[in-house]
Amino acid sequence: MSGHWGTDEALLALAGASLILVSLLMREATAAQRLKGAAGGVLLIGYGAYVASQTSGIFFIPVYAILLGFAAPLLLLRDVYARRKRQAVPTVSAGSAGARRCLSCGRAYASSTAGPCPTCRGTLTTSPSTRKGAR
């Protein structure tokens, strides 16, 4: 890869590499989503190399392409943090004594869970679930 590698071309290549890396690390994405992300990264690297190899002319380098490549890891970190936070919440089986249920998604949580539902931010029942008429 010879040519003139300026700041813009180097940023395109780094953004493309970042996009490829994020596409490979996303566990919850489908294969098609991973493939699209990796293809986008390859295209960014390829365009950066193409522009660097040119000796004359004016080429447009979209700033959003560079920003996307660097924003993707931040989005991945946000998703990983949210997933870990969800996994840290104690859940109980629906029929357990002392379980609180979310009125939106229906998941059961331990009676010590405070605030909104950790999964969907919906409202939890105010008291542990009991059946009407139970003695």
Residues 6+ apart with CB under 8 A from 45: 12, 13, 16, 17, 20
Say what the pLDDT of residue 71 is.
Answer: 86
pLDDT in tens, 23-58: 888 777 778 888 888 898 999 999 999 988 988 888
How high does pLDDT run on average in the chain?
77
pLDDT in tens, 53-111: 988 888 888 888 888 888 877 777 777 677 777 766 555 555 555 677 787 777 777 76
Say what the pLDDT of residue 4 is.
Answer: 81
Say what the pLDDT of residue 45 is.
Answer: 93
Torsion of CA 127, 128, 133, 135, to 10 degrees: -120
CA atoms within 13 A on the CB side of 40: 19
Say what the pLDDT of residue 87 is.
Answer: 66
Phi, psi of 99 (to 5 degrees): -80, 145
Say what the pLDDT of residue 57 is.
Answer: 83
Are 65 and 43 within 8 A, CB to CB?
no
Helices (H) and strands (E) in the chain, counts: 3, 2
Say what the pLDDT of residue 129 is.
Answer: 46
Residue type present at position 28? E
Say what the pLDDT of residue 133 is.
Answer: 47
Percent of the chain with pLDDT over 70: 79
Listed by start position, the domains of the chain span 7-88, 90-130
Say what the pLDDT of residue 17 is.
Answer: 92
